[in-house]
Amino acid sequence: MNHIFFLGASNAIVASAVEAPLNYFLHSYGPAAKPTMYLGWALAGLSVAICFIIALLLLTAIFRKRKTSNPHKIESEGKGLQWVYIGTGISTVILFVLVIYSLTVLNQVAKPSQTPSITITVTGYDWWWKVEYEHDDPAKRFITANEIHIPVGQSVLIKLKSADVIHAFWVPKLAGKTQMIPGLINQQWIQADVPGVYTGQCTQFCGVGHAHMSLEVVAESVEDFEKWQNAQRQPATQVLRAEQDSGYKLFMDRCAGCHAVRGTDAKGEHGPDLTHLNSRRRLAAGVLTNTPDHLMEWIGNAQLLKPGSRMPSFKLSESEISALALFLSTLD
Q: Which of residues 143-162 bind other proteins (CB under 8 A)?
A: 160
* 65, 75, 114, 139: residue in contact with other proteins (rule CB under 8 A): 75
Determine the distance from the C-alpha atom of residue 308 to the mean position of all C-alpha atoms in its chain, rounded to a whole number: 21
* 7, 65, 73, 115: residue in contact with other proteins (rule CB under 8 A): 73
Q: Which is nearer to other proteins, 100 or 240 (CB)?
A: 100
Instruction: Find the helix or strand (DSSP H, E) in which 169 lies.
Output: strand 167-169
Is residue 54 at the binding interface for other proteins, with CB under 8 A as the rule? yes
324 touches 295 (CB < 8 A): no
Q: Which is nearer to other proteins, 205 or 235 (CB)?
A: 205
Q: Report the alpha-carbon distance of residue 317 to residue 28 in Å, rounded.
A: 47
Count of chain residues binding other proteins (CB under 8 A): 99
Q: Count the neighbouring beta carbons within 10 Å of the beta carbon of residue 310.
A: 14
Q: Which of residues 165-224 bind other proteins (CB under 8 A)?
A: 165-166, 168, 170, 172, 175-179, 181-184, 186-187, 201-211
* 4, 7, 65, 81: residue in contact with other proteins (rule CB under 8 A): 81
Q: Which is nearer to other proteins, 201 or 232 (CB)?
A: 201
Q: Which of residues 284-303 bind other proteins (CB under 8 A)?
A: none
Least distance from C-beta 119 to other proteins, angstroms?
Answer: 16
172 touches 20 (CB < 8 A): no
Is residue 312 at the binding interface for other proteins, with CB under 8 A as the rule? no
The CA radius of gyration of the chain, in Å to the nearest whole number, is 27
195 touches 124 (CB < 8 A): no
Least distance from C-beta 297 to other proteins, angstroms?
Answer: 15
In the 3-class helix/strand/coil scheme, how is 97-148 assigned residue by residue?
HHHHHHHHHHHHHHCCCCCCCEEEEEEEECCEEEEEECCCCHHHCEEEECEE
Instruction: Find the helix or strand (DSSP H, E) in which 151 lies.
Output: strand 147-151
Q: Which is nearer to other proteins, 62 or 139 (CB)?
A: 62
Q: Report the alpha-carbon distance of residue 21 to residue 38 in Å, rounded.
A: 19
Least distance from C-beta 8 to other proteins, angstroms?
Answer: 10
Least distance from C-beta 118 to other proteins, angstroms?
Answer: 20
Instruction: With both helix axes pointing from N to C terminus, report the angle between 246-254 and 318-328 in degrees, rounded to the nearest 10.
Output: 90
Q: Is 293 helix (H, G, I), strand (E, B) or coil?
A: helix
* 95, 194, 222, 231: residue in contact with other proteins (rule CB under 8 A): 95
Least distance from C-beta 146 to other proteins, angstroms?
Answer: 15
179 touches 140 (CB < 8 A): no
Is residue 115 at the binding interface for other proteins, with CB under 8 A as the rule? no
Q: Which of residues 34-53 bind other proteins (CB under 8 A)?
A: 35-36, 39-40, 43-44, 47, 50-51
147 touches 131 (CB < 8 A): yes
Least distance from C-beta 11 to other proteins, angstroms?
Answer: 10
Binding segment toward other proteins, per CB under 8 A, in 65-73, 141-149, 253-261, 319-327:
65-73
Q: Report the alpha-carbon distance of residue 255 to residue 310 in Å, rounded.
A: 12
* 235, 257, 292, 307: residue in contact with other proteins (rule CB under 8 A): 307
* 7, 65, 66, 115: residue in contact with other proteins (rule CB under 8 A): 66
